Amino acid sequence: MHNGDNVLLIKRGLHKEHHPGKWSGIGGRIEANEHNTPLVACYREILEETGITQDAICALDLLYIIIRKRDDIIFLNYIYFGKTTQTNVTQTDEGELFWLPKNQLPYRQFSKGFAAMLEHYANRNPADRAVYTATAKGNDDDLFITWARCEDF
């Protein structure tokens, strides 16, 4: 979530199973009734984790779909980038929320997958609103990601 030159990130709680203490975007799980509407899930998660309401969000674009398999579970992550007029946030037990200037992002510790997505995003043409898919294999110590522009065939 962006507000001017600031980005809203969460420093994940140390109690989290995956990537404890690492920086990340706002996110969560799609509920069973939301599988066909990931945008609805995104608005819900933003509200639950930040207190930012849908009417305070002026843009929310799906830019990435990342597919990864861990053990017998296939994860499908929908990554939205948005803009908001609301800067006050509600803290939750997920971690600690911070508005950070974009130039501070290189000094934060992200998971390898999140860092790779941010690098891809930083190298995109700002006018490029296409959705990119990524397949990932390996783990955070040895991660390999393949990026592809999602297009009709």
> pLDDT (tens digit, 9 = 90+) per residue, 1-49?
999 999 999 999 999 888 899 999 998 889 999 989 999 999 999 999 9
Backbone angles phi, psi at 54, to 5 degrees: -60, -35
C-alpha distances in angstroms, 1 versus 15, 81, 109, 153? Answer: 24, 6, 18, 31
pLDDT at 140 over 80: no
pLDDT at 58: 94
Mean pLDDT (the chain) is 92
Name the 3-class secondary structure at 63: strand
> pLDDT (tens digit, 9 = 90+) per residue, 97-110?
999 999 999 999 99
The pairing of strands 73-84 and 57-70 is antiparallel
Domains of the chain: 2-85+93-102+109-149 (3.90.79.10)
